[in-house]
Amino acid sequence: MTSSERITDSGIVIQPVYTGSDMVDFDESRELGLPGQYPYTRGVQPTMYRGRLWTMRQYAGFGTAEATNERFKFLLGAGQTGLSCAFDLPTQMGYDADHVRAEGEVGKVGVAISSLDDMRLLLAGLPLNEVTTSMTINSTASTLLLLYQLVAEEQGIRGDQLRGTIQNDILKEYVARGTYIYPPRPSMRLIVDTFAYCAKEMPNWNTISISGYHIREAGSTAVQEIAFTLANGIAYVEAALAAGLALDDFAPRLSFFFNAHNNLFEEVAKYRAARRLWASIMRDRFGSTDPKSTMLRFHTQTGGSTLTAQQPENNIVRVTLQALAAALGGTQSLHTNGFDEALGLPTERAAKLALRTQQIVGYESGIADTVDPLAGSYFVESMTNEVERLARDYIAEIDAMGGAVAAIEANYMQNEIESAAYDFARSVDRGDKVVVGVNRFSEAESTKADVFPIDVAQQEAQVARVKSLKVQRDNDAVHSALEDLARAARGTANVLYPMKAALSRMATLGEVADVLRQEFGVYQPH
């Protein structure tokens, strides 16, 4: 790249200067419009942050349910406005803490939840009818959702009083992340059953957060992030329609989850293009007549893969830029990463500083004073158009392959992401992409940062609790309930109802997953 060339990671060439001539050829879908109006380029609400700021939802979860409950209360006390829960790998993969495959991983990258007892401890003392809760969980999302509902019911809270989100996006697991259990098609059935269950039992719950975050973390470009995410969204809509669900009964509860990286203007354009794309997909492709079905609402997390172990305090600046991009792009909620997350789980100091970063952006920067402050910028509008054009090309290619599930089974998305990640790594190695503190402005000794300690005693306590539960419960009742679940899985009934009955009788998450493994099979990647 010469000194005069500027190209984004998505391959978009940046001109030295932009004028009105760069904004020609707008068709109806690209009209700028007003905030809160189709196609929502400028935001899904007329007043956006003048009405209220985005939800500040810091991600937390480690060790036992008790330890994570303490962190939740610490963050709420510091001004967080929504909960966001991380689960450990055994929980994500459908294994109880006492399973041999869970050894050494219990509570490490999130909280360990094996049973209703654990969920009671996780949520103790939290106002579930007041706070919204996001749970980053996919293969076992339906199980964790039902455990959450069971605890709420014990507190006298109805399903229609609960608000929150489960990620429940299994397609991106095959593409980018790997915490899948079952093959794609039975996994899609679980997701559709969850849509149907929540439409009836938990109507204010967001049943899926279709995630581009992990696609970007795996190395995709900004364009690939929204193209592959929206292609997955199309597949979920088609699966729900094929199961007989009415579009505007479930579509308003679909939500999205995007990344925020360092290229401020490309990131802002990405969010604006994604809203416009989804609005046209839902109206023109699926025929939605409900405006709520055409609104792309999304959560943002700052880019974990952009953080460096070298000079970790530099990450404070990176996270601030990324938070600014998310806010300028119109996010509905935001998690800001701790500056020490390239080293381990965030310490309390880092978590509080990350939250304070959001609060300073929201309350001190002035960007919340007007809606879509970058609208009309020749550069931003041109970038928005180009991101949308390139994303549409990807979606058309995926459509030609038979849709997202077929594209995943053919390894198309995986290969595209791998190629983009390789190109980026080479550009860093060559010095074309500057990473401050890594390939330029490096130091012999990096700034030291405290590392979050792993408490082995917490892991041992969790294992002991699960073993004790399995001895003390009514095992005949558990086995009977699990047989009911197996029958539903073999047939066409909604599996969430017998799953809830089994969990209420103290069946564990791992036992529920084992029943579905037996009936659905286990996915083996090509």
Dist. CA 52–CA 329, nearest whole Å:
15
What is the structure's pLDDT at 31?
A: 65
What is the structure's pLDDT at 30?
A: 57
What is the structure's pLDDT at 28?
A: 45
Q: 3-class SS at 59?
A: strand
- Which tokens hold the place of 7? 């190209």
In sequence order, what are the residues at sequence separation of 6 or more whose Cβ sits closer than 8 angstroms to the Cβ of residue 96? 90, 102, 114, 115, 466, 508, 509, 510, 511
Q: Taking Cα atoms as reference points, which of 333, 336, 321, 316 lies closest to residue 268? A: 321
What is the structure's pLDDT at 187?
A: 95
What is the structure's pLDDT at 25?
A: 53
- Which tokens hold the place of 411? 């390894």
What is the structure's pLDDT at 453?
A: 66
What is the structure's pLDDT at 29?
A: 46
Residue type, 189: R
Dist. CA 107–CA 96, nearest whole Å:
11
What is the structure's pLDDT at 113?
A: 97
- Which tokens hold the place of 285? 């492709």
What is the structure's pLDDT at 452?
A: 64
- Please report, in tens digits, the pLDDT of each residue of the chain (526 residues total): 455 689 999 999 999 999 988 875 545 445 688 999 999 999 999 999 999 999 998 777 788 899 899 989 988 898 888 888 999 999 999 999 999 999 999 998 899 999 999 999 999 999 999 999 999 999 999 999 999 999 999 999 999 999 999 999 999 999 998 999 999 989 999 999 999 999 999 999 999 999 999 999 999 999 999 999 999 999 999 999 998 999 999 999 899 999 999 999 999 999 999 999 999 999 999 999 999 999 999 999 999 999 999 999 999 999 999 999 999 999 999 999 999 999 988 888 998 999 999 999 999 999 999 999 999 999 999 999 999 999 999 999 999 999 999 999 899 999 999 999 999 999 999 999 999 999 999 998 766 667 666 677 888 889 999 999 999 999 999 999 999 999 999 999 999 999 999 999 999 999 999 999 999 999 988 7
What is the structure's pLDDT at 20?
A: 83
State the Cα angle at 20 between 17 and 22, rounded to 5°.
65
Strands 59-60 and 55-56: unpaired
In the DSSP assignment, the letter for residue 101 is G
CATH topology of domain 20-430: TIM Barrel (3.20.20)
How many Cβ atoms from other residues are within 10 Å of residue 119's Cβ?
24
Residue with tokens 């809509």, as numbered in its chain: 237
